[in-house]
Amino acid sequence: MAVDLNYEKDSKERIPYEHYLEVYQNADPKEISSRCDVPYDAEKQEFTVSLMGVSYRISWPEYNVFHIGDDGSVSPIIGWYPLEKKPNAKILVLRYLTEGGAAPSTGKFLTYREIPWGEVYFKQFQGRCLFRLAFGFGGKLDAFREIMERVGAQAISSGDVGYELEFMKGLFVRLILWAGDDEFPPSAQILFSDNFPAAFTQGEDMAVVGDVTIDMLKALAAK
């Protein structure tokens, strides 16, 4: 799918997208492949990148994106392909490819407040992600379970319901829900594997990870 985001001239996403696209187009694809641990086919000039259980072919230098079926063909897997259409997902992956890098996790998970700059932006993250997850699915735990199972997430023993999802290769998020009761409203927590700060250098990136993940939940809940 060709890059056609239909940005308005004053779009807050247009300028960063164009900036990171220029960096990407002038980068060495072999260096990107090595630094980010993503396969690169030099003959086809394509990376293969995984996002939330879906593999995508990403061309270089054009940054055209196509999702890949299990047999290698272009066919649906889960029916939600943000990297083809969503500007925030496109910019996030561009930032990873141009500035981030693969690093092993120790197995520890971090709250948003524990990541660099997380304390500064916590209120925004709380509204954009934690409240949205809690009030979107705190009363729909069965629907939440069904979606997480559908995308291959692993159940964990946290909260009333919790799952661990591989967001990108080697980068895991944990989504945890508490249903609430007559006295307390539903609540949520999102945890990030401790290699996220190596992959993404800004606290805003992890908020976008939360946005993209919750967008996926809402899209699949509607199917």
Dump pLDDT digits (tens) for 170-198: 999 999 999 988 888 999 999 999 999 99
Count of CB atoms situated within 10 Å of the CB of 54: 21
- State how far the Cα of 112 lies from the Cα of 109, in Å rounded to an integer: 10
Contacts of 120 by beta carbon, 8 Å cutoff, 6+ apart: 203
The larger pLDDT score, comparing residue 164 to residue 78, is at 164
- Whole-number pLDDT of residue 72: 53
Q: What is the mean pLDDT of residues 70-97?
A: 79
For 58-72, 100-114, 144-158, 200-214, which range has the lowest pLDDT when averaged over its residues?
58-72
pLDDT at 83: 94
- Taking the CB of residue 18, how many other CB atoms lie within 10 A of it? 12
Cβ pair 88, 52 in contact under 8 A: no
What's the confidence (pLDDT) of residue 201? 84
pLDDT at 124 over 80: yes
pLDDT at position 70: 55
Angle made by CA atoms 95, 98, 101, in degrees to the nearest 5:
90
Phi, psi of 155 (to 5 degrees): -65, 140
Q: Return all residues near 211 (Cβ < 8 A) that are at least 6 apart.
A: 88, 128, 129
- Distance separating alpha carbons of residues 136 and 28, to the nearest angstrom: 42
pTM of the model: 0.89
